[in-house]
Structure 1
Amino acid sequence: MAKRVVSVSLGSSRRDSVAEVELLGERVVLERRGTDGDLERAVALIRELDGQVDAIGLGGIDLYLVAGGRRYVIKDAKRLKEAARKTPVVDGSGLKHTLERRAVGELAPLIDWKNTKVLLPSAVDRFGLAEALWEAGAKVLYGDFIFALGLPIPLYRLSLLQKLAYLLLPVLTQLPFRLLYPTGEAQEKQVLDWRTRYYAWADLVAGDWHYIRRYMPEDMRGKTVLTNTTTEEDLAFLRARGVRRLITTTPRLKGRSFGTNVMEALLVALAGRELAEADYLRYIDLLGLKPQVLDLEEEA
């Protein structure tokens, strides 16, 4: 009998999908169910799935934001996690911290990080990636103030981002999540304003797909996007803007790359328990998870 993993997402239900995979001798059904930004609907769905599935992923929301060694719990996400009493609920942060950090090193033969300008629209939800890019010597623009708070304050030093995060995250994590991140229909809308100019500066744009897509300008010729959770429709969107290359940190299954929350829930379902960092690294090796590179100019 197949194991079942469901990602309950605050994102649009238009992106829902189902895929069945066989890994390490087990069949697993991966399902993504969007609730169109409705937090109460997401809580109800998690309660309904509790005890009926092997693991639940939280999509379109993070349980934690991280800066340095400190973790801050997002109030709305805590409600979602606590809606399940029996089934493990994960948000992808454990896998992001390991898989995305490792991806930077594995991409070194392809990307000369020391001569690459990287725009990371949101670093506090991908601090492992943010640290790895810094350690690799990339020139990184950490865009948290610009894209999450709408303030024209570009940060180029990880240490400064960390200090500001220590001050602000205890307050920001208590706000309704929709004020910090696009949910539901807002994920489908593009915002072409002063923020798009930071894309022109960058050679590579990395991180959360919805932030990247939301502010992406019409002209992205020659640039690389490093993300995940992309569908065939997203590939068409990137090609139309001239993006040269798409790199996803999670594998493509049935025409899309699933989010880290789905993949993390998949590993938890296979293990039958919640996992520590060493466990994630072991599974990444066992499954041979590596960044997948799509040359969009060749594929066009």
Structure 2
Amino acid sequence: MPKHVVSVSIGSSKRNSRAEIHVESLGETFVLERIGTDGSWEKAIELVRELDGKVDAFGLGGADLYVYAGSHRYTFRDAQRMADAARKTPMLDGSGLKHTLERNAVRLLEPEIGWKSKKVLIPSAVDRFGLAEALDEAGARVLYGDLIFGLGLPIPLYRLSLLQKIAYILLPIITQLPFQWLYPTGEKQEKQVKDWRQRYFEWADVIAGDWHFMRRFMPEDMQGKIILTNTTTPDDLEFMRTRGVARLITTTPRLDGRSFGTNVMEAFIVAVAGKHPLSEADYLEYIAKLNLQPEITELQPKAQS
């Protein structure tokens, strides 16, 4: 019987998928499944209760359970309700893996990208603080877009220390608000917003972080840009191609034509390990054991010489 990982997502059901993978090094087969509830927390909670104890690990998709500012962790009230519905099966939102996998990806991509002085836009850094810290340490010129894309305020932040101070003040309040006020859920994930925020994409060489924030605000002209993200489908790749995106880098390999979210991959690692919680050292051990490395996809045809 293959181990079964299910990501229950409040995102769009149009992005549902199921992949069966055999890991040669472990001699085991795994089923990775993603089920969207189109923005309904109640449906998501009902589904978790129905599957609790019947699957090996849950991913919490389309939302964050935790966000970070430095070493401080804050919990979203809505997502906590969903996590509480899992009494027997561990539920992972990907935050533990983001701190390890995405940091590791920045290091591995240095020879390919050359981060020093690269202009990088992170539309939402508080849900990817490990990525933000790694890019800062690598010498990239980073624009943290949390106030711009999360709260609609025209205030770009260019210093990680300033983002951290603002996060200490705002996150205890923000995490108690309805999640859909802050992040596109359900059908909103498919809708595009064309406004003043698109100019920040024009500034950047690389756009990194959450795909749904990127897709929602992405301008028509993305010629030569690099996208660093995860959770992409074949339709997403076509979307990027039509806008001229040069390269897509996913922090995990693509399986059956798509890359899965960090919540799925974290749940996958927990299913592999057969224990929870895992330490940072545990995650790094399994990242190495499973050979989870960034995957680069060239999206535009090479010019003929």
Q: Common fold, TM-score beyond 0.5?
A: yes
Local SS of the residue matching 1:29 = strand
CA displacement at 1:299 relative to structure 2? 8.2
**Deviation digits for residues 164-185 of structure 1, max 9, x if unmatched?**
0000000000001001100000
Match of 1:9 in 2: 9
* Alpha-carbon distance between aligned partners in 1 of 2:105 and 2:90, rounded to the nearest angstrom: 26
Alignment of 1:203-214 (within 5 A): 203-214=205-216
Distance change (3 Å), C-alpha of 1:138 and 1:101 = same
* Alpha-carbon distance between aligned partners in 1 of 2:281 and 2:22, rounded to the nearest angstrom: 23
Match of 2:291 in 1: 288
Matched residues, number:
300
* Alpha-carbon distance between aligned partners in 1 of 2:280 and 2:76, rounded to the nearest angstrom: 21
* Alpha-carbon distance between aligned partners in 1 of 2:127 and 2:22, rounded to the nearest angstrom: 29
CA displacement at 1:137 relative to structure 2? 0.4
Match of 2:34 in 1: 32
Alignment of 1:115-264 (within 5 A): 115-264=117-266
* Alpha-carbon distance between aligned partners in 2 of 1:242 and 1:11, rounded to the nearest angstrom: 26
Local SS of the residue matching 1:205 = strand
Local SS of the residue matching 2:142 = strand
* Alpha-carbon distance between aligned partners in 1 of 2:289 and 2:137, rounded to the nearest angstrom: 26
Alignment of 1:53-72 (within 5 A): 53-72=55-74
**Deviation digits for residues 137-194 of structure 1, max 9, x if unmatched?**
0000000000000000000000000000000000000001001100000000000100
Moved over 4 A (4+): none
**Deviation digits for residues 232-279 of structure 1, max 9, x if unmatched?**
000000000000000000110000000000011011111111111111
**Deviation digits for residues 25-65 of structure 1, max 9, x if unmatched?**
11110000000000111000000010110000000111101
* Alpha-carbon distance between aligned partners in 1 of 2:15 and 2:111, rounded to the nearest angstrom: 33
Alignment of 1:44-83 (within 5 A): 44-83=46-85
Aligned-partner residue type, residue 271 of structure 1: A
Aligned-partner residue type, residue 164 of structure 2: Q
RMSD between superposed Cα atoms in Å: 1.0
Aligned-partner residue type, residue 47 of structure 2: L
Unaligned 5+ residue runs, structure 1? none
Alignment of 1:97-108 (within 5 A): 97-108=99-110
* Alpha-carbon distance between aligned partners in 1 of 2:31 and 2:42, rounded to the nearest angstrom: 25
Segment of structure 1 superposing worse, 161-170 or 16-25: 16-25
Aligned-partner residue type, residue 106 of structure 2: V
Are 1:276 and 2:279 matched, yes or no?
A: yes
* Alpha-carbon distance between aligned partners in 1 of 2:289 and 2:272, rounded to the nearest angstrom: 12
**Deviation digits for residues 103-160 of structure 1, max 9, x if unmatched?**
1111110112113100000000000000000000000000000000000000000000
* Alpha-carbon distance between aligned partners in 1 of 2:117 and 2:147, rounded to the nearest angstrom: 24
Unaligned 5+ residue runs, structure 2? none
* Alpha-carbon distance between aligned partners in 1 of 2:11 and 2:302, rounded to the nearest angstrom: 28
* Alpha-carbon distance between aligned partners in 2 of 1:283 and 1:263, rounded to the nearest angstrom: 11
Match of 2:19 in 1: 19
Aligned-partner residue type, residue 285 of structure 1: A
* Alpha-carbon distance between aligned partners in 2 of 1:288 and 1:55, rounded to the nearest angstrom: 20
Taking only the aligned residue pairs, the percentage that are identical comes to 70
